[in-house]
Amino acid sequence: MNESKFAHITKVHPCFNEKMHDKVGRIHVPIAPKCNIHCDFCTREINKCEQRPGVASRVMTVDQAVEHVKKVTSEMNIAVVGVAGPGDALFNNETFEFFKRMDEEFPDLIKCMSTNGLLLPEKADEIADLHINTVTVTVNAIDPKIGSKIYSNVFYNGELYTGEEAFNILSKNQLEGIKMLAERGVVVKVNAVLIPGVNDKHILDIAKKVKEQGASLMNVIPLIPMHKFKDTPKPGCAELSEVRDAVEEIIPVFRACTQCRADAYGVPGKEDKHLDMTPSSHY
Ligand code: SF4
Ligand code: SF4
Ligand code: SF4
């Protein structure tokens, strides 16, 4: 079943099919500002100029987001509606209110979200019930020694965790959550941020594990050096290609991503507009 769903999605989803990436549009609604973990490369910001995940020009209410979808879909060819931050989609109830409205009012649009995956096990049923078609989970490590260098804390069930303990909670939930989504017929893409000297030799382990859990596709994206990793060099094209080629031996790889903002809409790279913000959760 997952294979036929994947085939259907890849025909039309610009983030799952490189051939469609510059042909059909997606609309991100920036309705999810809060985040429950701290990735050490993330600085979420509200601004109008930066072109990267984690940036959006403003946060919308659910009503404003529905109006925005109505307007944009009447003006251009949009196949996908997504929630990609600027925080974590699952940690903001607005995401679920919004997708309920989408399911009722725009049942033909593909519903998509990106998340850090911490809340996936408890939200997987609701995601499937709302007919969310595709979920991108960012998995930057599966080894706690490496993971604890990337995530400095995790806020879960009212407690703040740090170090390997924090990473272990996140990782368990990410991996369990991917499996639960796949079992419920939701197509899962995994993003991994390539961080030179930290997880560059570890990406293949991630690829093997997430494939085992039922992910359909992987997107290896280069670190944008910021925050604690501001002095880490951004991976070069050759390094990125080498890792992607190796990953492709394990799981299909999406290569057209240019890391867009949490409020981007239109056809990526072409008629690409934004409200003046980006999703961090895509890191
Ligand atoms: Fe594409 Fe990610 Fe947006 Fe989904 S959430 S439409 S995968 S960019
Ligand atoms: Fe999705 Fe990346 Fe394309 Fe943006 S650039 S629409 S994040 S695949
Ligand atoms: Fe949260 Fe995403 Fe930023 Fe990580 S990158 S801290 S998941 S908003």
The 3-state secondary structure of 73-132, one letter per residue? HHHCCEEEEEECCECCHHHCHHHHHHHHHHHHHCCCCEEEEEECCCCHHHHHHHHHHCCC
- Per-residue pLDDT tens digits of the chain, which is 283 residues long: 456 666 777 778 888 888 888 888 889 898 998 999 999 888 765 444 454 455 556 788 999 999 999 999 998 888 899 998 789 999 999 999 999 999 999 998 999 999 999 999 999 999 999 999 999 999 999 999 999 999 999 999 999 999 999 999 999 999 999 999 999 999 999 999 999 999 999 999 999 999 999 999 999 999 888 888 888 888 988 999 999 999 999 999 988 776 776 777 888 766 666 664 444 445 4
Q: Tell me the longest C-alpha to C-alpha distance in the chain.
A: 49
Q: Which atom of ligand 1 is nearest to the CA of 260?
A: 8
Q: What is the pLDDT of residue 52?
A: 46
Task: Name 136's bridge partners.
Answer: 114, 189
Place of tokens 């033909």: 108
Q: Whose CA is nearest to atom 5 of ligand 3?
A: 280
Task: Please state, in angstroms and as integers, the Cα–Cα distance from residue 109 to each residue in 27, 92, 146, 201, following that order.
Answer: 10, 21, 38, 38
Q: For residue 84, report the distance from its CA to the centre of ligand 1, in Å.
A: 7
Which one of the ligands is nearest to 189 CA? 1
Cβ–ligand 3 contact at 39 (below 6 Å): yes
Which one of the ligands is nearest to 22 CA? 2
Of 114, 132, 186, 274, the residue with max ligand 1 atoms within 8 A of its CB, to mutate for a pocket test, comes to 114
In terms of Cα–Cα distance, which of 78, 237, 230, 40 is closest to 154? 40
Kind of pairing between the strands at 55-56 and 45-46: parallel
Q: Which atom of ligand 3 is nearest to the CA of 42?
A: 3
Q: What is the pLDDT of residue 54?
A: 54
Query: ipTM of this predicted complex?
Result: 0.89
Q: For the chain, which residues make up each domain, given as ranges? A: 2-187+257-282
Q: Whose CA is nearest to atom 3 of ligand 1?
A: 82
Place of tokens 């990793």: 229
